[in-house]
Every structure is written in structure tokens, then in C-alpha cells.
Structure 1
Amino acid sequence: MKALVFHGPNAMAWEDIVRPTLGADTDAIVRVDATTICGTDLHILRGDLPAMVDGRILGHEAVGTVVETGAAVTNVRPGDRVLVSCVSACGACRYCRDGRYGQCTGGGGWILGNTIDGTQAEYVRVPFADNSTYPIPGGVSDEEMLMLADILPTAYEVGVLNGRVQPGEVVAVVGAGPIGLSAISGARLFSPSLVIAIDRTPARLDAAKQFGAEIVINNAEQDPIAAVRELTGGLGADLAIEAVGVPATFELAVDLVRPGGRVANIGVHGKPATLHLERVWDRDLTITTGLVDAYSTPTLIRLLASRHLDAHRFVTHHFGFDEFLTAYDVFSRAGETGALKVILTHDG
């Protein structure tokens, strides 16, 4: 089969490798019908995750068709269309029993495209298939469902729920890429009075308006701290959601919130960020971080199936599996190309 293989920082290739086989009774083999590229994949290619090894297949998001299951798998069977979650869950360890699947100590967590071969391939081995795949409801397209593999549950859990969005609050989202736009969508479910999007790219700020941000601020042209304070009577936002993963955006998020406010960090950070305790120690701030657990995926599937959540508008570009390198180039230059989510399928 063909797969996208990591060969060190800034090096990858679409090449022939051996098709995966069952490694445990709880595994399933899934034919990948559609996959996508995540910002985390770009972090990997930049060398931000030094534990990544040469030869690993990239990717942790997919929808596909089950072709084989282990003897212990009971929830899915060959022929089923499924979502493959970015997080795998053994279902038995302390963290899985608490619903914190991202911290699984039984062999799960974020393993696809990280510690085991991932989904940017024609076939993928999915461990703990009963706990880590979800049937695709009728009437929901592959590309809509694919948005629930990572970006929507990540933003909802790590940004919106960890940030405790309340009705009537002011929410500032730093970064209007796919994760930031997902955070805007999730925050809208809780009726904030104002959602503010901050980014340096006009196309992404235009997208933020379409996703529900009432105010957009281009921080290449305007001081976002002064602008947010002017909008909030000098106080600052109730919640700032960091959705980029670089030191400057984390530090900005901290400076955007009012005394007693909250900062929910979603971004994947490859470099240290400074927490200016000399400025904020007396402001009663709450700062949360996290890896997605995907416990919200069933809820988001119901919202998607009932059309209370619009996932289709994330998709801006389509490619075939033989165009992976082009797709990465387009996605990595999102400021120029306007790419939000790129979808790769067998037929393009």
C-alpha cells in the first residue's frame, strides 16, 4: 500500500510500505476513505516533537471502512463506515475510566501518527477499535464526519469546556485557523455576548466572521489588548482561548483577560512561553491546558447529525492520495492559499 512516511524534520515521502495487519484481538484494520492534515502534523515536520521517529506514517484523523477486526472487537465489523478518532482508548486504565482518554496508560492516548503508524495511508491499524471508532450516521458525509476526528472535539473540550464559557461572557479567540474557528463554533453553543477573533491573516478573519465572531481584530494592524479593553469597559475578556501554539500568542491570551478571567490553551507548543507572574500573580487568573480526550465526540456527532453544528464549511481544498505533498504545501501556506481544512481521498 501507499503511505505518507516521515523521514525527519522537513522530510516526508509518499511511498510503498507493507499493509498493516492485526496486532491484537482489539484491533481493526480500516481502509482510509478520507483523511486530512492537522496543524500538529506541521509541528511534527518542523521538528517540534523530537520523539517522532524516522519511518513513521503521519496522520491521526480518518474516516473509512472496516475491512478486518480482531476476535475481541464487538462494536464494529467489516463493511462498517467509521470515524477514526485522533485519540485511542484502552477503556480499562484509571484515566480511561475517568473519561480522560488522552492520558490513557493502557497503550492508548494520542498514538496514531505519533507512537504508531497513522492515518495518512491507504490502510490503518486502529487499536482498541471498540473505544476508538464511531459509526457514521446516515446523511452525514465523510468530510463532515472527518472534522470530528480532532479539531471540533479538541476546541470544544480544551477550549470551550475547560474555559467554562458562560452565557453573556466575552470570549477572545487568539488564532483563526481551524482550531480557532472550531472554538468559535463551540463557544457559540453557550450564548456568549461577544466573540472576538484575533489573527494576522485577513482571509482567516473573514472566515471567523462566517463562523460567528462578531468582532475581528488584525493584530498586525491594531493593538488587540487595547481593542479588547475598549470593547469591555476597560476590563478585558472573560475568557481567552489560545489556538496557535507559539509563545507570543500564549502571552497575548494572558494579557487579554480581565482580573478573575480564564485562559484556555489549546495550541501545541514546541518552544517555551513566558508566564509573566510579576504582572499577573494578583489577578486571580485560571490557566488551563490539555490534550483532547474525545469524550465529547458522541455529543458532537448528535449535533452534527441534527444540523446544530455545521462542519462542512471547514473544508476548503480537495486532493487525491497521490497529491499529499501538494496538499501539505497548500496547507502550510494557509495565509496565502486560504486553506482551512484540506481533504484527501482516493478519487480526489
Structure 2
Amino acid sequence: MLACTYLGPGRIELREKPKPELLDPRDALVRVTLGSICTSDLHIKHGSVPRAVPGVTVGHEMVGVVETIGSAVSTVRPGDRVTVNVETFCGECFFCRHGYVNNCTDPQGGWALGCRIDGGQAEYVRVPHADQGLNRIPEGVSDEQALFVGDILATGFWAARISEITEEDTVLILGAGPTGICTLLCVRLRHPKRIIVCEASPERRRFVREHCPEVLVTDPAACREFVAAHSDHGGADRVVEVAGGEDTFRMAWMCARPNAIVTAVALYDRPQTLPLPEMYGKNLTFKTGGVDGCDCAELLRLIGAGLLDTTPLITHRFPLSRIGAAYELFEHRRDGVIKVAIRADE
């Protein structure tokens, strides 16, 4: 089968690999129908993810059809259309039982697919702990509608949930890339008083204005003053940092009002500084870490009910055979690229 393979820093190639086989009774084999390129895949390509194993098939954002299941799998069966969770998790350890599935203690737990074990930018993918990692796609929900459920939409939903947003809040979202827009869509479900999005790219600011006209939009140069002028207490009540830029972590806490919640879900390329003397007296609460993707069934329900739609994020589509060109396009963000979908069954 064809598989997009990480060969070491700076090198990703489409290679021929054997079709995966079940290795554990809890595994399922999924025929991938649609996948996408995530910014995390670029981090792997650039050598910024030390855990990434050379030779691994990349890709952790995909949907497909169950082909075979292990003897211990009970929640899906061959022929089911499914989303694949970015995280593999056992569902039994301390962290899983408390909903912190990103911290699963199983050897293959956490972000394994497309990083430590073969992922889904391929024709087939083996999914460990399939009872937890796969969710059946409801009738009437297309592959494109479900594509982002297992990763960036789960990230946005989790970020909105842990930010404790109320209807009185002004929420600032830093970043309007794919994960930032998914976060915006999930924040809207909580009906805050106002939402402000800060984004450097003119194309992405235009995208937000077109699809979410009620949302206020600013750029990084004006962000601090803009937020102060459009909030009730001198700063945002909730800040969600999704950009992961050079100075966006600092911007996040500086734009927050005293006693605000700052949620950082961005993946940074380098360490960030927490300058406690500068922020003394702001009494901020910080929440941070990787996504706990345990809300996929609820996300599919919301999509089926017409309350979430991420299909406008898909701005470019490629067959798997042209994934090299797709990476080139996505990496250099030409023509205002938001998200690239990879059709694996063409």
C-alpha cells in the first residue's frame, strides 16, 4: 500500500509498505477513505517532535471504514464508517478513568498514531484500543463533515470546555488556523457575550469575517488595545492560545484581565517563559496541555444535528498519490490555505 513516511528531519516521502495486520485482540484495521495534513505533521517533518520515529507512517487525522477487528473489539464491526481519535488510550488506567486520555499509561497511549506507530496518511491504518479510538459516523454525516472530529475539532471542544466559559464572558482566541477556527466554532456553542479572534494572516482574518460575521477580528499589532477597548474589565475574561507563535503566549496573559483563565493548547517549537514578577497581582489561572480527545461521540452528535460544520476549512483536496504536492502547498500556505484533505481511496 502507499504510505507517507517520515524518514528523518526534513524528509517525508510516499513509499510502498505492507498492509498493516492486527497485532492485538483490541486492534482494528481501518481502510482510510479521507485524511488530512495537520500542522503537527509539519512539526514532525521539521524534526521538532523528538518522539517521532523515523520510518513511521505519518498522519493522525482521518476517517475510514472498518475492515477487520480483533476478538476483543466490541463497539465497531467490519463495514462501519468511523472517525479515528488522534490519541490511543486504554480506557482503564487512572488517567483514562478520569477523562485525561492524553495521559494514558498504556505503552501505546497518548499521541502514538503517525508519531510513534504508523498513522493514517496511507491506504490502511491499524488502530490500537479500537473500542476507545474509533467512533461510528452517523447516517447523513459525510466523511468531510467528520474528518476533524478526532483531532483539531476535539482540541477546540476540549479547550472551550476547560476554559469554563460563561455567557457573560469576553473570549479572546489567539490564532485562526484550522485548530483556532475549530476552537472558535466550539466557543460559539457556549454563547459568550463576545468573541475576539486575533490572527496575523489577512486571508485567515477574511475567512473568519466571512464565516463568523458576529466575531470581532484584530491583528497582533493592535490586539492588546483592541481587547481592552472591547471588554468590560480591561481585558478578556478567557483567553485561548491556539497559535503557538513566537510571542503569542506572552500576548495571551497580557490581554487577560485580572483573575482570568488562560488556556494554552498550542504546540510550541521552543520553551515559553512564565515571567511571574511581571504578572504578579493578575492572579491568573493557566490551563495547558495536549487535547483530551474523549468527546468525539458528542461532536458527531452536534455535527449530525447541524450545530457544527467544519467543511469550510477544507480549502484544497488531493489524492494520496499527490501528497507531496499537498505538503508543499500546506507548508507554504499559498492562496490562503486553511486545510488540505487527502483522498486515500482514489
TM-score (ref. length: structure 2): 0.96
Q: How far 1:181 sits from its partner (Å)?
A: 0.6
> CA separation in 2, counterparts of 1:136 and 1:234?
43
* Larger mean Cα displacement after TM superposition, 243-252 or 296-305: 243-252
- The residue aligned with 1:345 is 343
> CA separation in 1, counterparts of 2:211 and 2:297?
22
Q: How far 1:211 sits from its partner (Å)?
A: 4.2
Give the aligned residue type for 1:265.
A
> CA separation in 1, counterparts of 2:321 and 2:165?
42
- The residue aligned with 1:217 is 218
User: Do 1:5 and 1:57's aligned partners in 2 also have CA atoms closer than 8 Å?
Assistant: yes
- The residue aligned with 1:197 is 197
Q: How far 1:233 sits from its partner (Å)?
A: 5.2
The SS at the match of 1:7 is: strand
Alignment of 1:133 onto 2:134: yes
1:1-348 correspondence runs (5 A): 1-106=1-106, 107-157=108-158, 159-212=159-212, 214-219=215-220, 222-232=221-231, 235-334=234-333, 336-346=334-344
The SS at the match of 1:120 is: coil
User: Do 1:101 and 1:293's aligned partners in 2 also have CA atoms closer than 8 Å?
Assistant: yes
CA deviation string 1:171-212 (max 9, x = no partner) = 111111011111111111111111111111111011122343
> CA separation in 1, counterparts of 2:192 and 2:268?
27
* Larger mean Cα displacement after TM superposition, 338-347 or 199-208: 338-347
CA deviation string 1:255-283 (max 9, x = no partner) = 11001111110111120112121111211
> CA separation in 1, counterparts of 2:215 and 2:304?
26
Q: How far 1:68 sits from its partner (Å)?
A: 1.1
TM-score (ref. length: structure 1): 0.95
User: Do 2:89 and 2:96's aligned partners in 1 also have CA atoms closer than 8 Å?
Assistant: yes
User: Do 1:33 and 1:346's aligned partners in 2 also have CA atoms closer than 8 Å?
Assistant: yes
CA deviation string 1:217-270 (max 9, x = no partner) = 122xx4211121122256111111111223411111111100111111011112
> CA separation in 2, counterparts of 1:238 and 1:191?
14
> CA separation in 2, counterparts of 1:125 and 1:274?
39
User: Do 1:35 and 1:345's aligned partners in 2 also have CA atoms closer than 8 Å?
Assistant: yes
> CA separation in 2, counterparts of 1:142 and 1:333?
26
Percent of residue pairs identical: 37
The count of corresponding residues between Structure 1 and Structure 2 is 344
> CA separation in 2, counterparts of 1:59 and 1:347?
15
Q: How far 1:51 sits from its partner (Å)?
A: 2.3
